Each structure stands twice: as C-alpha cells, then as structure tokens.
Amino acid sequence: MIREGYINAIVLFGFLLIPICALIIEEPYTITLATRAAVLALAAVGLNIALGIGGLVSLGHAVFFGLGGYAMGILAFHAQNYIPVELGPLTINGTKSMPIIWLTAVLVSAFAALIIGLLSLRTTGVYFIMITLAFGQMFFFFSISWSAYGGEDGLSIYVRNVFPGVNTLVPIQFFGLCFTALCVALFVQSRLRASIFGLVLNSARQTPVRAETVGLNPMRLKLLAFVISGAITGLAGALFADLNRFVSPTMFSWQLSGELIVLIIIGGVGRLAGPVIGSALFVTLEHFLGEFTDFWHIWLGLILLLIVLFARGGIIGILTGKDGPHV
Amino acid sequence: MSEPVLATRNLCKTFNALVATDDVSIDLKPGEIHAIIGPNGAGKSTLIGQICGGIKPDAGSVHLGDSDVTNFSTAERAQAGLGRTFQISALAMEDTVLENVLLGVVGRSAKPWRFWSPALKARDLIESSMAALERVGLAEVCDQVTANLSHGQRRQLEVAVALALTPKAFVMDEPMAGLGAEGSHSMTDFLSELRHEAPILLVEHDMDAVFALADRISVLVYGRIIASGSVDEIKASKKVREAYLGEET
Ligand SMILES: Nc1ncnc2c1ncn2[C@@H]1O[C@H](COP(=O)(O)OP(=O)(O)OP(=O)(O)O)[C@@H](O)[C@H]1O
Ligand SMILES: [Mg+2]
C-alpha cells in the first residue's frame, strides 16, 4: 500500500492541477468549483483538528464559518457604503483588505470558540454534540433577525475584496490565495499533530483517564484544540463569503456543520488529506449529480454509509490500507 | 517511625445502599510495599479511585506527604507525585508503545504546550521514555502499535508509564492480572526492587506474589479493613482465614 505522505502530496497536486487545466481549456466555472472545494476543505481541516485529533464531535462549526463570513460581510459592507462600524464608543472603518478581514475573522472565531468551548467541553458524547448544535442554532437565528445586515436575505458585496499583489477578481488568482491558505492550514495541522501538544491531545482523545493520571488536564488541551480549530474554520468562512461575494444565515446552518463532518468522515477522520479528498468529492457530486437531480444528497449518503460500514479510515484509509495513522 | 508518604484517614464511600469503603485508614511508608488484598467486589479499586482521584469520598481524607490532597483533581494528585496503574489497561491503543510512555514523561514535565517541534525529536523526552521501557523490558517493541501488544506487554507498559512519572508513591491495581506464571515472576522481581525508589500500594489477587513482596498486608472485606499486619501475621490470622483465605483453601 502507498505511504500516506505520498498520497497527501498526490492529492494536493491533483487538486492544484484541476483549475490549471480548466484555465488552459478556458472553463472558468471549474476554477470557481475548485475554489469552493478548497475553501470547504479549509473549513473541514479546522474541524478535523478538533474532531480527528481531539475527538470533539462538534455539530456547531458553522458558527465559526458564519462568523468568518459575517466578519468579511460587515467590514466590506461598511467599506462599500463609506459608513464606519459603530461599536459602542468605538468607531472602526470598514475595509476591503483581505489580510485585515482574515485577521478579524480568525480572532472573532477564536474568541467564540473559547467561550463555546468553555461552556460545552464540560460535557462529552451526545451532550457535547447537542450543546454545539444549540450554539449553532443560536447564531443562525440571531443572524436571521439581524436586520442591519440583511437578516434572512443576507448581505451582498459588490466587488471582491483586495489582497496586496493579487488580482482577486481573476478566478485563478483567487483560487491561488485559497489554495495557499489550505496548504498553510495543512502544514500547521501536521506540525501540530506531530508536536507534543498533538501527541498528548491525541492520547487524551483515546484515553482521557490516562491523561489525567499522568497529571495533564484533558479539558484544557481540548479547549485549545477547539480554539485553533474554530479559528481555521473562521478563516475559511471569510474566504467562502469572498468567493460568493455574499453572506447569509445559511453559513450558520446546522446542515453546514453536518456537511463538514461528512466531508471528514468520507475522506478519513484525523487524516491530513481527508478533508481535501472529502471536499473535492462533495463539490464534484454536488455539481454533476446536482444537475440531474435535486436528491443528489442520497448518493452522498450512500457513499457515507458504505464508508462508515466498510472503510472506517475513509478514502485515505482505503488508499493506505490503514484505518488510522498507525494501525 | 518515618512519616508515611501516602495516607488515607477514615475514608468512606457508599454507592446507593452499598458500602464500598467503610472507614478506611491506611498508610504507605518509605521503601515499603503495602499490599491490599480482598475478595472480588471488596472495594479495592474503589479505594484506589479515591486515593488517586476520580472517585470522590463521602467522608475522610487523603494525604500525600505533608499535603491534604482530598480536594485535588486527578491531574493535581499526579503532579503532586502519585503514579497509578490501572486494573484494566488505560492505554492509547492507536499510539505506539513509545508514545504512550512519552505521555507520562510529558505529564511529569507538566509542559504539554509545545506546538511546533516534533515530539519524537525531543531527545531528552525520548531518552527518559526509552529508559522506562528498558526497565520493563519493552524497549525492543517501542515502535509497535499498542493494540498489537500481548496482554502481558500491556501490563508492563502500564507500569512503564507510571515509572516515567518518577512518582513519590506508586499505586498499582492488580499489575500481575493475567500475566501467567513467568510474567508474574519477573514482575515480582521488578516491583521488589522498585520499592526502594518509591513505595508501592499494591492491590493484587496473586497471593504468591503478595506473600513474596509485601512488607505489610491489609485485608479489605466489604469495604472494611479487617486485619493489617506482616505476611506471617496475616497468614496466621484466624479472622482473615475465615473471611477470605479460607474460601480458597
Ligand atoms: N460506580 C459505581 N456505582 C455503583 N457501584 C459500584 C461502582 N463502582 C463499584 N461499585 C461496586 O462497589 C463494590 C466494590 O467494587 P470494586 O471495583 O472497588 O471492587 P474490587 O475490590 O476492586 O473488586 P475486583 O477484585 O473484582 O477488582 C462492588 O460491589 C461494585 O459493584
Ligand atoms: Mg478492582
């Protein structure tokens, strides 16, 4: 069987090749699809840190995705209308600059993850899933009723935000930005997983009592993982909003949280390239089957079922012949 | 007499109507092995749970050195110097043998907040881990996935993780369980030496091992300590024989 490192490289290379080919044969829509897949993969990489290494089944990661989206939406909305953001006594100018938007998205989602984590990590198992789901719904309904920013209809941004040295209006260049962000996140994840923190977090997932009996506090480890995870998913949210030039409450929806989990399971839980394969497959199915039928989710469901039943390591597991990184 | 390293004072614990720990006061002195024996369901594991954290006593206190650790969390007790092994192995099965011991070494250093440099390249940590594996005889299988180990090897790994903590006192719940005669023998030899590094509170069903190792034995029946003394005293005690040993012979 093939070493996982090679597979990761092949997956990323293949991922890069698709929009390049699309560029050559002048199929700009395929580039947009590839960008969508890259951004969803980034969101799932974030979740994979919490879920795959920390064992935290969060059904509320749409919170961070949505917060990232609204961070972009709100800042760009104020910039395009030339009204400053009033935050109590504080007034901040809106911005069209991606780096500032990204930083805001990351900080806001990290902070939200800290608060949500503090409140929900006291529970485990189904209760944790339910609490994170509840937080997701809270944000969802709040965004629907937040009429200043479009409520249910969402917010449209006229022109894509700017990044120094890149023409973000050109699809392949924007893809390049998103793909780079994805690669950086994957690099961060792989360093994190191999580090002492990653080792300890991974053990705490498998045997929390052991972590405690050697003097470590699993709750703190998981909280930090949750914050890092939320921050990455938040960044993906900002990119997703920029891709569509649109934010709406659907970014906070529980379906989105569920889809992220599904992507990871299909690709391989805890595996580096798992979310990338999962997301590529997801977007492909969504696009091609979606043309024929509104019920394409059934096919996705079938794949998910087969994988859960017969290939616990997901597609990466099938390719490497290993259900887990070691086993 | 030297001060005990570890002591419980009047511990009590009931589960609904079941009295699992009934006014238990025991101590562990430097350099000794204090064995706790008793029939199945006597409350040995429950007692250990209260000593190491995880089970909160209804009344009484636990002391480690000079400090009252009754209100410490499990992690804080480990930091204070308790090294525990489990009756049912609690190892990270997907991880390698080395990674499991590394967890103990990291726990002792109390510095899990290193995010960037690879754990398996932290030379000092690896060396301490390998030293612990060497001592229990698992150095050769350090790269194996724990799930692939034999039952006996897992028991040894349990001990290695506790060793990696370099605790002030060991608390071991049936380290010999399922080891077989030969494994039991080498574990007995090993623990016999280990007591000089840190005393051991030993829960064990293997009577040969207990009689070979223990400096003192306490007999727990229905949550109560019914007798406590040297090996010979316990062997000679009529009360013990009636309540416990008699059942077997
Ligand atoms: N969490 C719990 N809730 C209710 N009863 C419990 C709980 N834990 C243990 N018990 C009961 O308390 C009694 C003591 O259990 P414990 O596990 O301490 O026994 P033990 O002496 O370790 O037995 P063994 O030799 O089989 O390991 C048993 O009757 C057990 O069923
Ligand atoms: Mg027991």
Q: Which residues of B touch A211 (CB under 8 A)?
A: 75, 103, 107
Nearest CA in chain B to A187: B116
Q: Residue with the nearest Cα to atom 4 of ligand 1?
A: B15
So what's the pLDDT on residue A291? 82
Residue B248 confidence (pLDDT) above 60: no
Domain boundary among B132, B166, B200: B166
User: Is there a single domain that holds both residue B157 and residue B172?
Assistant: no
pTM assigned to the model: 0.92
Domain of B189, CATH number, reads 3.40.50.300
Query: Which of A210, A216, A326 has the CB atom closest to B96's CB atom?
Result: A326
pLDDT tens-place string over residues B39-88: 888 999 999 999 999 899 999 999 999 999 999 999 999 999 999 999 88
Q: Which of A74-83, A94-103, A240-249, B108-117 has the lowest mean pLDDT?
A: B108-117
Report the residue among B13, B14, B22, B44 best suited for mutation to probe ligand 1: largest number of ligand atoms under 8 A from its CB.
Answer: B44
- Percent of chain A residues past pLDDT 70, beyond the cut: 99
Number of structural domains found in chain B = 2
User: Is there a single domain that holds both residue B182 and residue B154?
Assistant: no
Contacting B residues, span 34-53, partner chain A, CB-CB under 8 Å: 52-53
Report the distance separating Cα B191 and Cα B202, nearest Å: 10
Q: Ligand 2 centroid vs B148 CA: distance in angstroms?
A: 25
Q: Does A231 touch chain B (CB under 8 A)?
A: no
The arithmetic mean of pLDDT across residues A106-111, rounded, is 98
Query: Which of A191, A207, A215 has the CB atom closest to B107's CB atom?
Result: A215
The arithmetic mean of pLDDT across residues A83-105, rounded, is 89
The arithmetic mean of pLDDT across residues A177-181, rounded, is 97
User: Is there a single domain that holds both residue B180 and residue B233?
Assistant: yes
User: Is there a single domain that holds both residue B120 and residue B179?
Assistant: no
Q: Which residues of A touch B171 (CB under 8 A)?
A: none
Interface pTM (ipTM) of the complex?
0.88
User: Is there a single domain that holds both residue B160 and residue B175?
Assistant: no
Q: Strand pairing of B27-28 and B33-37?
A: unpaired
Report the distance separating Cα A75 and Cα A73, nearest Å: 6
Q: Ligand 2 centroid vs B173 CA: distance in angstroms?
A: 7
User: Is there a single domain that holds both residue B37 and residue B59?
Assistant: yes
Do the chains contact at A203 and B78, CB–CB below 8 Å? no
Q: Which residues of B touch A217 (CB under 8 A)?
A: 73, 75
So what's the pLDDT on residue A321? 85
User: Is there a single domain that holds both residue B65 and residue B103?
Assistant: no
Q: Residue with the nearest Cα to atom 16 of ligand 1?
A: B43
Do the chains contact at B103 and A221, CB–CB below 8 Å? no
C-alpha to C-alpha distances, A17 to A34, A184, B216, nearest whole angstrom: 10, 18, 72
So what's the pLDDT on residue A35? 97
Q: Does B131 touch chain A (CB under 8 A)?
A: no
pLDDT-derived band of residue B246, with 50, 70 and 90 as boundaries? low
pLDDT tens-place string over residues A19-70: 999 999 999 999 999 999 999 999 999 999 999 999 999 999 999 999 999 9
User: Is there a single domain that holds both residue B249 and residue B173?
Assistant: yes
Do the chains contact at B99 and A199, CB–CB below 8 Å? yes
C-beta neighbour count of A31 within 10 angstroms: 21
C-alpha to C-alpha distances, A10 to A5, A17, A326, nearest whole angstrom: 9, 10, 20
Q: Does A221 touch chain B (CB under 8 A)?
A: yes
* CA of B232 vs chain A CAs: smallest distance (Å): 34
Torsion of CA A227, A232, A233, A236, to 10 degrees: 160
Q: ∠ at Cα B176 (B173, B177), nearest 5°? A: 80
- Structural domains of chain A sorted by starting position, each given as residue range(s) with its CATH number in brackets: 4-320 (1.10.3470)
Among the listed residues A276, A253, A255, A254, the one whose alpha carbon sits nearest the alpha carbon of residue A266 = A276
User: Is there a single domain that holds both residue B21 and residue B75?
Assistant: yes
Domain boundary among B130, B146, B166: B166
User: Is there a single domain that holds both residue B60 and residue B130?
Assistant: no
- Token pair in block for residue A114: 């800290």
Q: Which of A240-249, A250-259, A285-294 has the lowest mean pLDDT?
A: A285-294
User: Is there a single domain that holds both residue B177 and residue B162?
Assistant: no
User: Is there a single domain that holds both residue B159 and residue B174?
Assistant: no
Contacting B residues, span 201-220, partner chain A, CB-CB under 8 Å: none
Q: Does A25 touch chain B (CB under 8 A)?
A: no
- Token pair in block for residue A298: 């059934």
Range of the domain at B33: 1-81+168-249
Domain boundary among B134, B151, B166: B166
Query: Which of B93, B112, B145 has the CB atom closest to A200's CB atom?
Result: B112
C-alpha count within 13 angstroms, C-beta hemisphere, residue A306: 8
**Ligand 1 neighbours (beta carbon < 6 A):** B 15, 18, 20, 38, 40-46, 87
So what's the pLDDT on residue B249? 44
